[in-house]
Amino acid sequence: MPYPSDRERDRPWVMRTYAGHSSAAASNELYRRNLAKGQTGLSVAFDLPTQTGYDPDHKLAKGEVGKVGVPVSHIGDMRQLFAGIPLAEANTSMTINAPAMWLLALYVSVAEEQAEAEGRDVDEVLAKLTGTTQNDIIKEYLSRGTYIFPPGPSLRLITDMIAWTVHHVPKWNPINICSYHLQEAGATPTHEVAYALCTAIAVLDAVRDSGQVDADDMAKVVARISFFVNAGVRFVEEMSKMRAFTELWDEITAERYGVTDAKARRLRYGVQVNSLGLTEAQPENNVQRIVLEMLAVTLSRGARARAIQLPAWNEALGLPRPWDQQWALRMQQVLAFETDLLEYEDIFDGSRVIEAKVEEIKTGAREEIARVQELGGAVTAVESGYMKSQLVSSLAEYRRGMEAGERVLVGVNKFDTTEPSPLQAEGAKAIETVDPAVEKEAVAAIEKWRELRDDERAEGALRRLRTVAKTSENLFDATLECARAGVTTGEWSGALRAVFGEYRAPTGVSGAAMSSGGVAEIERVRERVTATSEELGERLRILVGKPGLDGHSNGAEQVAVRARDTGFEVVYQGIRLTPEQIVAAAVQEGVHVVGLSVLSGSHLEVVPEVVDGLQAAGAGDIPVIVGGIIPPDDARLLTERGIAAVFTPKDYELTEIMDGIVTIVREANGLPGR
Give the count of beta carbons closer than 10 Å to the beta carbon of residue 554.
Answer: 21
Backbone torsions φ then ψ of 299, nearest 5 degrees: -65, -40
8 Å CB contact between 318 and 603: no
440 a catalytic residue: no
- Candidates 31, 180, 195, 572; catalytic one: 180
Give the count of beta carbons closer than 10 Å to the beta carbon of residue 333.
Answer: 15
659 a catalytic residue: no
In angstroms, how far is the first alpha carbon of the chain from the final one?
64
H-run or E-run covering 637: helix 632-640
CA-derived radius of gyration, the chain: 25
What is d(CA 534, CA 671) in angstroms, rounded to the nearest whole number? 11
191 a catalytic residue: no
8 Å CB contact between 474 and 59: no
54 a catalytic residue: no
Burial class (CB in 10 A: 0-12, 13-18, 19+), 27: buried
What is d(CA 575, CA 544) in angstroms, rounded to the nearest whole number? 10
In this structure, what DSSP letter does residue 616 have?
A: H
Give the count of beta carbons closer than 10 Å to the beta carbon of residue 588.
Answer: 10
Closest-CA residue to 58 (of 71, 75, 77, 45): 71
- Candidates 552, 565, 603, 634; catalytic one: 552
Half-sphere exposure of 76 (CA within 13 A, CB side): 15
Closest-CA residue to 164 (of 197, 112, 210, 97): 210
- Candidates 10, 18, 58, 147; catalytic one: 18
Residues paired with 92 in a beta bridge: 42, 131
Give Cα separations from 269 to 43, 134, 297 (angstroms): 14, 12, 10
Three-state DSSP at 595 gives strand
What is d(CA 382, CA 549) in angstroms, rounded to the nearest whole number? 21
- Candidates 67, 546, 592, 603; catalytic one: 546
In degrees to the nearest 10, what's the CA dihedral of 126, 130, 135, 139? 170
Opening angle at CA 32, ends 29 and 34, nearest 5: 110
168 a catalytic residue: no
What is d(CA 539, CA 592) in angstroms, rounded to the nearest whole number? 9
- Candidates 67, 74, 181, 241; catalytic one: 181
What is d(CA 59, CA 577) in angstroms, rounded to the nearest whole number? 11
Three-state DSSP at 19 gives strand
Query: Active-site residue numbers?
Result: 18, 180-181, 546, 550, 552
